[in-house]
Structures are given as C-alpha cells and as structure tokens.
Chain A
Amino acid sequence: QVQLVESGGGVVQPGRSLRLSCAASGFTFSSNGMHWVRQAPGKGLEWVAVIWYDGSEEYYVDSVKGRFTISRDNSKNTLYLQMNSLRAEDTAVYYCARDQNGPFDRWGQGTLVTVSS
C-alpha cells in the first residue's frame, strides 16, 4: 500500500536551517509529482511547493521562495525540503503529498517544525 513517511522535523532557532525528508513506498515514486503542504498549529492547510516527477520543474508559494528548496532522489524514493532562514511563521506540521489524478491524493503523517529561540 502507498506509504509516505516524513522525518527531520524538530525545534530550530530563527535564521537556522532544517531539511525534511519523505520516504515513499508502495507506488512508482518516479512517476508522480510530489508536494509539501504545511499546517500551522490550529490553522488550515497551506501548499508550500511542488516538484515534477523527474525533478525538472519546481514551484513555491511566495512566502518561501528563495528560502526553501524542494528536491527528490528517485533512486532512493525520497522527497526533500531544504528550509533555510527559518522564521517563527514557518512553524507548522509539514506533510508530503502525492500528485495522482490531481494534487494531494495521498498524504504522510506529517513532521512538526518549531521555529523558536
């Protein structure tokens, strides 16, 4: 069955960096676009970034452009989110999600990132 397992979250000081990972299994990872979506505590869902199935294109929400980078390693069935210059407002649960028959058909369990001094 399809599984997406995020890791790499934690507590980090403002201005520092963190890299999230999402290990995929149960489907042909290299055939699907992949997304990161976040949810601040007690808030709604916010799309963060998408990467094409082959890594050839990527897009970001304006608030993270220039600070976050989405990437993938299809040989390892793994999606990444490199987060630099973190701010308090980046505090959220970060989910990876697959794109099949449209965006976000399957989600991981999420990993919590807390940006605090």
Chain B
Amino acid sequence: DVVMTQSPLSLPVTLGQPASISCRSSQSLVYSDGNTYLSWFQQRPGQSPRRLIYKVSNRDSGVPDRFSGSGSGTDFTLKISRVEAEDVGVYYCMQGTHWPPFTFGPGTKVDIK
C-alpha cells in the first residue's frame, strides 16, 4: 500500500499570514494516463471532510483561491496564501493513483496562534 506522510502534524498560524503543508508518498503518484491523483481535504471541527484540491492543483468549485496545490511525483504542497479564521481544522492529503486502497495522510491540524 502507498503510505502518505504529512508535515508538520500541527501548524499554529497567524491570521493573514501564509501557511504551507507538505505531503509525501512512498511511491510516485503519476498514473499510466499521465495524471497524478493527489487530493487535499479540509475537515473543520465537528464537520465532514471537504475536498479542496484534486489532481494536485485543481481547486474544487467554491474553494477560495487562497488555497493552492502544487507538486509532482512523490512531493506535494498545500498552500494557504493568507490564513483566515474559517481555515482552522485538519487537512489531509490522499492518493488515488495506486488503489485499492485509497490512502490518506495522517492529517495536519491548523489552528490560530
């Protein structure tokens, strides 16, 4: 199974400042069709997860443009350009290239300093 790791696991941030979360996979996530199936999810306290980004850098409908995804191969990053209070929660990366199983990272908890 592909193992997903994230760093940091806890990220205190200052409102209005940028934030960055790293995600690494145990093997390349490039699929035979040329796509890379790496997604990012946000889970606010007490809520269901919500997909923010798919195929590395594509924002889902309704996701603010302060969220961006980048990376390739085995190294990926989620960036928040200016953190807002509503961004508090846990962020997960997930790979959908080598499945089953689909595998998630352990999560990064973002809170306000």
Interface string of A21-50 (1 = CB under 8 A from B): 000000000000001010000001111001
Q: How far is the CB of A102 from chain B (nearest CB, A)?
A: 4
Q: How far is the CB of B7 from chain A (nearest CB, A)?
A: 15
Cα distance A62–B49 when bound, in Å? Answer: 23
What is the interface residue range for chain B against chain A?
A: 20 to 34
Q: Which residues of B contact A46 (CB under 8 A)?
A: 104
Contacting B at CB under 8 A, from A67-96, are: 95
A110 engages B96 (CB within 8 Å): no
What is the interface residue range for chain A against chain B?
A: 20 to 34
Q: Interface residues, chain B, CB within 8 Å of chain A?
A: 37, 39, 41, 43, 48-51, 54-55, 58, 60, 92, 94, 96, 99-107
Extra inter-chain contacts (8) besides given A47-B101, A102-B37, A106-B51, CB under 8 Å: A50-B102, A101-B55, A101-B60, A102-B54, A102-B55, A104-B39, A104-B49, A104-B102
